[in-house]
Amino acid sequence: MRFGYDAKRAFHNFSGLGNYSRDMIRILSNQFPDQYYILYNPKPSKLDWIKESEHLKIHYPKSKLWKTFSSLWRQRAVSNQIKEDKIDLYHGLSGEIPRGIDRSKTKVVVTIHDLIFMRFPELYKPVDRKIYFSKVNSAVQNSDVIITISKQTKNDIIHFFQTDESKIKVHYQGCNPAFKKQYSLSTKNNLRERFNLPEKFILNVGTLEKRKNILSILQAIKDLSYHLVLVGKPTKYFNDLKAYIDENHMEQRIHFVHGLQMKELAALYQAATLFCYPSVFEGFGIPIIESLFSKTAVITSSGSCFEEAGGPGSVYVKAGDISHLRNEISDLMENEIRRHRIEELGYAFVQKFNDENVGNGMMKIYQELF
């Protein structure tokens, strides 16, 4: 069969949606090399994310016009190329599909990661909310199957769009292979030396934005001695964090890290004593999966989708309960027996997100459409 993919995020996004797209393409093309995969990329990438092979090709806009207006090509005109390429199934990997594709014979699948812009509209500009709604609404109405990466997002789609439940399939995402490898002690020590980190530290990974609730970690460890490493792209919320750090003289204990390669990030997870992810709301929470594969204990928020990602072994704290968060951090940092038990439980649970399960599950969804 011939599968087509919206590959913009796979080639041009460095974080969540990009990682999901790259992992899904990698898993399927490796696990099912007898199929043919075409990646629709609006423009060349500066990074060599994905290599072409005999059964995997990258297609760009054909005409000079659409090369110039590549965003419009991706939103609409690519439908003509999809038809010309005789694609059996097209998968929009990041919550949108091209207009007009529903009028073709191509089966259409879309992955919707979250509806945070509807759950927390105050976090988005009005114009952005309108754009996001238009794209998601079109995808919901015109796809044959909607894939969500958590039960939470499935429930949100039913709630906000009154979508037939039978049209939605929950299919959990995978994880980059870098997080499944074991890194040497010297590699981890080199990272500690490079970033001036102590033997024991807390790690948080994700964009530094208000929804991630990172300030609560700072508040929880303010009167403790632990170091915190924050890995992520800063936003305006960074100013709030910096102000709190300066006000409470925590400069020597808070480390902002960015620009890591995937293998370096994976080694940093393994070097960490504890992973703390007190986000208010997510579509899934891939950093939790990365931490579990790294055999690093997780504290995250109760509610939302976090129990789906963290499993029964992780520790859950209500977002905003600073006292409870402080107690759990302190206990896990000091109680090595409990911490190791949580690490083993998490590692056993996270095997459900391995490549084989992810690939087989997705291919089954595809095949059920024919």
pLDDT for position 47: 78
Q: What is the pLDDT of residue 242?
A: 95
Rounded to the nearest 10°, the torsion over CA 339, 345, 349, 351 is 90
Residues 353 and 289: their CA atoms lie apart, in Å, by 8
DSSP class of 53: B
Per-residue model confidence (pLDDT) at position 215 = 97
Task: Supply angle C-alpha 181, 184, 185, rounded to 5.
Answer: 135
Q: How far apart are the first and last CA of the chain?
A: 11
Q: Bridge-partner residues for 112, per DSSP?
A: 148
pLDDT at res. 285: 87
Say what the pLDDT of residue 282 is.
Answer: 86
pLDDT at 259: 83
Both tokens assigned to 49: 């994310």
Cβ atoms 138, 132 nearer than 8 A: no
Paired strand residues for 2: 36
- From CA 278, how far away is CA 65, in angstroms rounded? 46
3-state secondary structure 75-135: HHHHHHHHHHCCCCEEEECCCCCCCCHHHCCCEEEEEECCCHHHHCHHHCCHHHHHHHHHH
User: What's the confidence (pLDDT) of residue 281?
Assistant: 86
Joined together, the tokens standing for residue 26 give: 């990698």
Which phi-psi region, left, alpha or beta, contains residue 327 (left: φ > 0; alpha: ψ -120 to 50)? alpha
Q: Count other C-beta atoms under 10 Å from residue 234's C-beta.
A: 15
Residue 327 CB contacts under 8 Å (≥ 6 apart), including other chains: none
CATH class name, domain 2-174+354-367: alpha beta
pLDDT at 149: 93
Contact 286, 277 (CB under 8 A): no
Q: What phi and psi, each to the nearest 5 degrees, are found at residue 97?
A: -135, 155
pLDDT score, position 48: 80
- What does the pLDDT read at residue 49? 81
Q: Which residue has the tokens 């009005």?
A: 126
Q: What does the pLDDT read at residue 13? A: 86
Segments in the chain below pLDDT 50 = none
pLDDT at 3: 98
The whole-model pTM stands at: 0.90
Sheet strand arrangement including 145-148: 56-59, 36-40, 2-6, 89-92, 107-112, 145-148, 168-170
Q: Which CATH architecture has domain 177-352?
A: 3-Layer(aba) Sandwich (3.40)
pLDDT of residue 302: 92
Distance of CA 78 to the CA centre of its chain: 26
Residue spans in the chain of domains classed CATH 3.40.50.2000: 2-174+354-367, 177-352
